[in-house]
Structure 1
Amino acid sequence: MATLFTIPIPPLGAHPGGAVVCTEPAPQVVSYTLPPNPLLPPDNRLTTPTNAALVSALDVLEFGPHPPGVVLTTSAIQKFYSNGLDLENALADPAFLPTSLYHLFLRFLTFPMPTVAVLNGHAFAGGLMLAMHHDYRIMSPARGFLCVNELDFGVPLKAPMSSIFRLKCAPATYRSLVLEAQRFDGKAALEAGIVDGLGGVQEAVAMVGERKLTEKGRTGIYGAMKREMYRESVELLSEEGFAREEAAFLRGMEGEQGRRERGEGRVREILKGGKGAKL
């Protein structure tokens, strides 16, 4: 399969960079392949340069000489589609969430052509979030799990991250993902409605044909339709929405700390009045 173009990924710290490789597995179906992160283990974590390269790849398709079509994303490694954020990068850069990660999510969510995430391996946390901001998802039936595992390592989901699951998943599935950190294999993910089919790039191309997706971007309103459909996430992913929700998140955390301190004080008084009575 011939390469149409590549978008370089500049180095960042210990990350030496690489490229997003664009191919055309079928007419008007463009596939963007995420390179493996050279840091061990190779698991396609999302960094500022990687996010920017993916956005640039979308720009080339939207504003370049190519006709409207369909975008697929997949991974160059079999074990991982993406294992989420590069936490070192994310923590070191205060602008990472609003101007890099959320901008990437918003670009996919409102892209004026259909998008399909081809999940050839694990998609955890931010990796699954990226896939959820695509229009469709095809998952390997033989390998990989989908999981929102922030609960396991004590990082609360913020509103721009959680809203896409609320909009695209049934309530019981949303609960299993967020409050149980359940891992879904391909069969379970299909049954839960997280993915639209099982397979790889070939099956994704077949779905594109069956649903006539290459025709959907021709009228020029596909992105506008998605902006209306997912207006909650669109607002939360904007820089203005981020600033507002971040302030609300910090107020909520401060309120929770105060609530705990008051509760602990009440319990001390209860135990003191009951002379050490067991609760």
Structure 2
Amino acid sequence: MLTALDLVEARLPSGVVVTTSAIPKFYSNGLDLALASSMDRFFENHLYKLLSRFISYPMPTIALVNGHAFAGGFMLAMHHDYRVFSGSKGFLSVNEIDFGAPIPFPLLNIYQIKVRPNFVRDTVLEGKRWTAQAALEAGLIDSAEGWKGVEALVKDRNLVTKGSTGVYRLLKKGIYREQLAMLDSQGDETAIFSDMMKVEAEEKAAIRKKAEAAKL
């Protein structure tokens, strides 16, 4: 995907990048967590670079969500400038709470800077599954009209020419500077799941110890 984005930028002076999936049921079902966890610094060396590229891309980006977008797939869509849902079926969901996986801070932060606080709570702490209509009402997506919605979005907002003046990337870097700083940082141990769970276990043990010593 990084190579594809490089080729588009190198060969086109301006335009709109639309991502989608050839699988009718899924835009993306997220990461292969076991595989990602087994790779040395997968998040910093691969995933964060991709998300950083999307959120600072020098032309508009649209995620055409043509089915379920879970966990990492949902996070990828959130790093696009616009999101359009396709079809009547499918959910947007961050379901790590359901299977006990921590979420690295750079991946949580994207929701905090793009949507209202209640959405972050419902999505992250409750694992809520958003339908297209609910997502539209919450401001998660810009349209639920599929490819027709993409075409209307591009036309109505004159998106094709937005990258032609050469400042689109610079403006996005200013708007999303906090997120880019988190994605571009190195040596962040919070990206390693085992370390995150170890810190949590140590904190729980310390609390139990204080509770046992408390005289109440």
- Do the structures match in fold with TM over 0.5? yes
* Structural RMSD (CA): 2.3
1:79-90 correspondence runs (5 A): 79-90=25-36
Matched-pair contact (CA < 8 Å) for 2:41–2:192: no
The one-letter code of the counterpart of 2:2 is V
Which structure has more helix as a fraction of its residues?
Answer: 2
Pick from 166, 174, 194 the counterpart of residue 140 of structure 2: 194
Change (3 A) 1:216 1:92: same
Change (3 A) 1:255 1:157: closer
Match of 1:144 in 2: 90
Match of 1:243 in 2: 187
Match of 2:207 in 1: 263
Match of 2:117 in 1: 171
Partner Cα separation in structure 1 for residue 33 and residue 209 of structure 2: 36
Q: Considering only CA atoms, is the larger Rg found in Structure 1 or Structure 2?
A: 1
The one-letter code of the counterpart of 1:163 is N
Matched-pair contact (CA < 8 Å) for 2:14–2:164: yes
1:68-79 correspondence runs (5 A): 68-79=14-25
SS in structure 1 opposite 2:130? coil
Q: Which protein has greater RCO, CA pairs closer than 8 Å, 6+ apart?
A: 2
- Structure 1, residues 118-175: CA drift from partner, whole Å, max 9, x if none? 0010000000000000000001250100001111111111111011111111111111
Matched-pair contact (CA < 8 Å) for 2:102–2:196: no
TM-score normalised per structure 2: 0.92
In the TM superposition, residue 249 of structure 1 has moved relative to its aligned partner by 9.0
Count of aligned pairs between the two proteins: 216
SS in structure 1 opposite 2:43? helix
The one-letter code of the counterpart of 2:203 is R
Which structure has more strand as a fraction of its residues?
Answer: 1
1:208-223 correspondence runs (5 A): 208-223=154-169
Partner Cα separation in structure 1 for residue 200 and residue 37 of structure 2: 23
Matched-pair contact (CA < 8 Å) for 1:159–1:245: no
Match of 2:77 in 1: 131
Matched-pair contact (CA < 8 Å) for 1:236–1:245: no
TM-score normalised per structure 1: 0.72
